A and B are shown apart, each in its own frame.
Chain A
C-alpha cells in the first residue's frame, strides 16, 4: 500500500523521531512511504484562535498538495492534526472546495487507526522494555474516536508493560489546547498538574501519546518538576527495536 505521510509541522521541527518512527513502522508493515516537502502546517493554530481566513488559505494549500498524490492513504502521527483536516470542510462555503476538503479528510488517517483498522495489524514487531502509560489526546479520543487502537498496538510491544492511569485521570485533558496554553498559562498548568500527578502515581518510566503537542506540554512539566518519567511518541515506541530500557 502506498502511503503519503502528513508529518505535521510540529513533528517535523520538534519531534522528528515521531515522524521517522512512523516511516519506519509503515515500511515494516509493507507500505511504501512518500513525503511531499511542500507541506507545512495544517492551519490549526489559526483556526483554533479564530483566524479563519489564514486557516482557509493554509487549508487550500494542503488540499492541493495532497491532491497531487494518488497514494492509497494519507497517514499522520497526530490525532489532532488529522482531526483538523476533518474540520476543513466547515472553512468553505463553496461547494467545490467543500467536496475537496471532505475528500482530503476521508483519505487521512491517524497512524494507530491506520495500522489497526485499515491494515488489521497489531503487532508491528516492536520491542521497548519499559513500564509505560498511554495519554489519550483529546482530539484523537473524541474527534476521531481512537481509544483501543493505540492500546492494542502497545500491548503487542515486546517488553512493554502498559499501565492505565486511574479512571478519573485516564481520559483527562493535559491542558494544552494550543493558544490556550499561552493565553491562560496558570489554568493550563493547573489542569496539566492533575494529569502529571496521575502519571507519576502510576509509577511508569514513560508516558506515550499520539500527539507531539500533548507530549510537549506533559514533557515540559515533567522536566520542570524534575521527574524521571519521559515523554515518548507512539510512533517512536512502535519503531523501537531496543532490547534494554530507554
Chain B
C-alpha cells in the first residue's frame, strides 16, 4: 500500500496530467469556463413570504400554528404535545425552549438532554427545539448546531416541535445559505417529516426520523 501523502500526490498529478491532455486536443469547447456570478439576494414582502412559508409547510406535511408571544406559545406547545399523546418530552438548551417546557403543566415528563443515554433518548415521545431560519419557497427549517443542541432532538423522537421566529423567514434557499455560518459544524435543513418512497414509490412518513413535524410560528407580542 502507498503512503497517504503519496496517494494524494498521485491523484493530484493524475488530475493535472489528464487535464493537460484534454487541453491539447480540444475538439468540442464546452459552455461556461469562468465562475458564474452569485445570484442576487431576493427580498420579499414579509407578509407574502410568511404566507408562502405556511403554505409550503402544509404542502410538505408539516403542521403550523402561529402564536403571539411566549404565553400563547406555551399554551400551543402544551396542546401540540397533548395532541400527539407525548409524555416524555425532551427540549434543547435554547433558553426559550427551556422556559416554555418548564412552564408546561403536569402530565409531561421532562427529560434532561445532557444526561440522556441513547436508549433513553430513543424512548422519548417528543423533541422541542427552535429553528434559526425558515425558507419560504420550500417550507424548510434551518437548524444550526452552534446555536443550539438540536441535532438529535429534531431527529430521534417521533414528534418534533419547532419554535421559529416569524422574523427569521427567508424567501429562498439562497437567502438562507447566505445567512448561515459554517461556524456550526452541522447545519440541518428540514423540510417536512421523515419519509420514504422506497417501496413501490408509495409515500410513508416517519421511517427513521419524526413522523410529526409541528412548527410554532412566533410573532412578537
The reply to whether A and B meet directly (CB within 8 Å) is: yes
In chain A between 71 and 124, which residues have their CB closer than 8 angstroms to a CB of chain B?
Answer: 90, 93, 98
B28 touches A93 (CB 8 A): no
Name the interface size band of chain A: under 10
* Shortest Cβ distance from residue A29 to the other chain B in the assembled complex, whole angstroms: 36
* Shortest Cβ distance from residue B96 to the other chain A in the assembled complex, whole angstroms: 50
* Bound CA span A31–B138, Å: 55
* Bound CA span A98–B28, Å: 11
Q: Does B27 contact A (CB under 8 A)?
A: yes
* Bound CA span A93–B27, Å: 7
Closest to A92 in B: B27
- A98 cross-chain contacts in B, Cβ below 8 A: 27
Q: Does B25 contact A (CB under 8 A)?
A: yes
- B28 cross-chain contacts in A, Cβ below 8 A: 90
What's the tally of chain B residues with a CB closer than 8 Å to chain A?
3
* Bound CA span A90–B26, Å: 11
* Bound CA span A20–B27, Å: 38
* Shortest Cβ distance from residue A32 to the other chain B in the assembled complex, whole angstroms: 37
* Bound CA span A90–B25, Å: 12
* Shortest Cβ distance from residue A95 to the other chain B in the assembled complex, whole angstroms: 10
- A90 cross-chain contacts in B, Cβ below 8 A: 27-28
In chain B between 4 and 25, which residues have their CB closer than 8 angstroms to a CB of chain A?
Answer: 25
* Shortest Cβ distance from residue A191 to the other chain B in the assembled complex, whole angstroms: 22
- A93 cross-chain contacts in B, Cβ below 8 A: 25, 27
* Shortest Cβ distance from residue B135 to the other chain A in the assembled complex, whole angstroms: 32
In chain A between 156 and 182, which residues have their CB closer than 8 angstroms to a CB of chain B?
Answer: none
- B25 cross-chain contacts in A, Cβ below 8 A: 93
* Shortest Cβ distance from residue A115 to the other chain B in the assembled complex, whole angstroms: 31
Closest to A93 in B: B27
Closest to A91 in B: B27
* Shortest Cβ distance from residue B24 to the other chain A in the assembled complex, whole angstroms: 11
* Bound CA span A97–B28, Å: 14
Q: Contact residues of A with B, CB < 8 Å?
A: 90, 93, 98
Q: Contact residues of B with A, CB < 8 Å?
A: 25, 27-28
5 contacts between A and B (CB under 8 A): A90-B27, A90-B28, A93-B25, A93-B27, A98-B27
